Amino acid sequence: MTYRNEDAMSETEFDLGDTGEQADAASDGDAGATASPNDGADSPNDDNGDPSGFEAALADLRRRLRRTAEVLRGSRIDVRPYRPSDGTLSTFEPPADEAVIDQYWVNAPYAYVVITYDEAASKHCYYAVEPDLDDFERDILERVREDIRDPLLYNTETGSSAETTLRRTLRTVLEQYGIEVEMATFHTLLYYLLRDFRGYGRIDPLMQDPHIEDISCDGYDLPIFAYHDDYTDIETNVSFGEEQLDQFVVRLAQRSGRHISVGDPVVGTTLPDGSRAELALGEEVTPHGSAFTIRMYADDPFTPVDLVEFGTFSVEQMAYLWLCIEHNKSLIFAGGTASGKTTSMNAVSMFIPPRSKVLSIEDTRELSLHHDNWLSSVTRNRMHEGSDIDMYDLLRSALRHRPEFIIVGEVRGEEAVTLFQAMNTGHTTFSTMHADSIETVINRLENEPINVPRAMVQSLDLLCVQTLTRSKGERVRRSRAIGEIGGIDQRTGELDYSRAFSWDAETDTFEQRNSSLLEEIQSERGWTRAELRREVRRRERFIWSLVELGIDDYRQFTALVNEYYADADRVMDRLESEVDAEIPTERDERDGLSVGVENEPHVESGSAEEPQTGDDSGVESPVGDDSHRSDGTGDETAR
């Protein structure tokens, strides 16, 4: 079996293939490796019974002399970095009725994950494997934890500096105890101290796992469930007792700067790493006890290139959205929970022209834009004598900042009216909402509790509906439909809309239709039909080039988009040259799209003649006829 090393911190690979044997070799004699020659009698954790006064004084003197000798000769504790040749610090033996199917590091060389499959129960199981602790190490850990708790809690260092400080502190404390431990024991103690004081305690391996999207705890003594991008919902071997869970939930709230109590038992917040957490304390609102759900935060946000590779959108859809965003069309992403609404909104926001004033408003911070002129704002609950600052307040304030683009995390109340007022006054706005179809979005906007007047709803230009579904046996995210909002039908009084794109679940492809918005953009720019097609095609080639070259870093992607705005021909020449160098063939035919050739598709070089169209009433599909389909295949991992 080939195992994956997912730990970015590790400069060398650790082989997990012989975990048990290596661990046995590394841990032999750990418990007896201390400087306790009297068979444990002088250990700081031993009681020594009730000896006579002379014997007690003699034992105390012996301990003092030993510690003094250790200090005088210097520490012999080996604190060098742990190497693969030192063996693993943990062992794992799967249950007899489960087969190991996957195994990878999440925090090498300390913690790794084992995925098993129980054929009888038809389910996968997730095991977070951490360093083994024997009784001696457990006792030492508890004593060290108590002795260094206060200094660590008030230490504001982060990252490698915090680990260095803790490593030095641990070594000093062990020297003061007069205890000499094996290197494996030292690193085991260091791991648990870092995990508990700087990490997320028992769930730290899950928080370190890049394959986990959500972590959910439903109550006391219940297994924690995680959403894994390969195995979907999966039960883990991590759980909390009653007191432990209560303390953990309170700690999560405190680490994010929030207060939670029996009187105020429900809190939504953002953790220090950017992950979104929903917390419930005690049995007031959750009968099974305290509970929490953590939506993981991606350090590097997904780009349009990622969404194309996942199959969530097609290249044609991305080029279409790019052109609409550049021309200030307002957009709402709708869908169910975990359908990827915010991820998609964040990704297409990378198409915003450089230097444009962007202002975002969120309940909990999720957006991450690589944009110089971006002001981010977050709601705030009442503090002491102050008052709540909600999305409505922030939105009203935002209009005074003279933004060109306003991004609202989610509309669900009175702030929606202000948002649509901003649309009607010329501000381009992006937002998300929970709805499963274009019709549902319109109904929610026009009815309680949002109540946006129909005349104002028509200022919205685009609706993109996403879904989390299954295709070809895999759970995937797809853009179900992209709709264009028209005006109000004078005969029926209803709001008109049309679909520019729709997803065919049977074939997992996207069907493209005529677009009135592209016709509107053509009119605004004074383009001919051929010029419009040429521009759409060029943007498609731009995105495909990045897909072919594997350029999905959000910083690099944004820089190339900005370069496109400055000089499209120059950046296209460079990208297509790089694609030609990567791909040996002159043409890469994919969905009828030409990559790396000089002539524009369907428009001969130097020709100003407009191609024949099948419908003069509007602009037909910019890459073909109305029945054009683009394949939406690809594995999906976007959060």
How far apart are alpha carbons 251 and 244 in whole angstroms? 10
pLDDT on residue 76: 65
Determine the average pLDDT of the residues in 36-53. 46
How far apart are alpha carbons 159 and 166 in whole angstroms? 11
Residue 460, burial from CB neighbour count under 10 angstroms (0-12, 13-18, 19+): buried
pLDDT on residue 286: 94
What is the per-residue pLDDT across 118-147, written as a single tens digit (0 to 9) for each?
A: 999 999 999 999 999 999 999 999 999 988
Q: Beta strand pairing status for 276-280 and 291-295?
A: antiparallel
Higher pLDDT, 167 or 627: 167
| Domains assigned to the chain | 4-198 (3.30.450), 205-295 (3.30.450.380), 304-631 (3.40.50.300)
Cβ atoms of 225 and 235 closer than 8 Å? yes
Q: Can you say whether the dihedral through the CA atoms of 93, 95, 97, 98 is positive or negative?
A: negative
Determine the average pLDDT of the residues in 323-328. 97
Phi, psi of 290 (to 5 degrees): -55, 150
pLDDT beyond 80 at 597: no
User: What is the C-alpha R_g of the chain?
Assistant: 30
β-bridge partners, 504: 509
Q: What is the 3-state secondary structure (H, E, C) of 319-380?
A: HHHHHHHHCCCCEEEEECCCCCHHHHHHHHHHHCCCCCCEEEEECCCCCCCCCCCEEEEECE
pLDDT on residue 383: 57
Cβ atoms of 582 and 596 closer than 8 Å? no
pLDDT on residue 194: 93
What is the per-residue pLDDT across 236-266, written as a single tens digit (0 to 9) for each?
A: 999 999 999 999 999 999 998 889 999 999 9
The answer, yes or no, to whether the previous bond of 94 is cis (omega within 30 of 0) is no
How far apart are alpha carbons 303 and 347 in whole angstroms? 5
What is the per-residue pLDDT across 486-533, written as a single tens digit (0 to 9) for each?
A: 888 888 888 999 999 999 999 999 999 999 999 999 999 999 999 999
pLDDT beyond 60 at 442: yes
Q: Give 443's DSSP letter.
A: H
Lowest mean pLDDT among 46-60, 204-218, 263-277, 472-486: 46-60
Determine the average pLDDT of the residues in 604-615. 35
Cβ atoms of 3 and 104 closer than 8 Å? yes
pLDDT on residue 363: 84
pLDDT beyond 60 at 114: yes
Which residues, including other chains, have CB under 8 Å from residue 11's CB and lie 6 or more apart? Answer: none
**In percent, how much of the chain has pLDDT > 90?**
56
What is the per-residue pLDDT across 22-41, written as a single tens digit (0 to 9) for each?
A: 434 333 434 333 333 334 33
What is the per-residue pLDDT across 101-113, written as a single tens digit (0 to 9) for each?
A: 999 999 999 999 9
Cβ atoms of 467 and 339 closer than 8 Å? yes
What is the per-residue pLDDT across 533-589, written as a single tens digit (0 to 9) for each?
A: 999 999 999 999 999 999 999 999 999 999 999 999 999 999 999 999 876 544 444
pLDDT on residue 117: 97
How far apart are alpha carbons 495 and 486 in whole angstroms? 7
Determine the average pLDDT of the residues in 616-625. 40
CA 357 vs CA 354, 360, 401, 562: distances in Å? 9, 10, 9, 15
What is the per-residue pLDDT across 374-407, written as a single tens digit (0 to 9) for each?
A: 999 988 776 555 577 888 888 888 888 999 999 9
How does residue 350 score in pLDDT terms, banded at 50, 70 and 90? very high
Higher pLDDT, 241 or 156: 241
pLDDT on residue 36: 39
Report the mean per-residue pLDDT for the chain: 82
pLDDT on residue 608: 34
pTM higher than 0.85: no
pLDDT on residue 635: 42
pLDDT beyond 60 at 161: yes
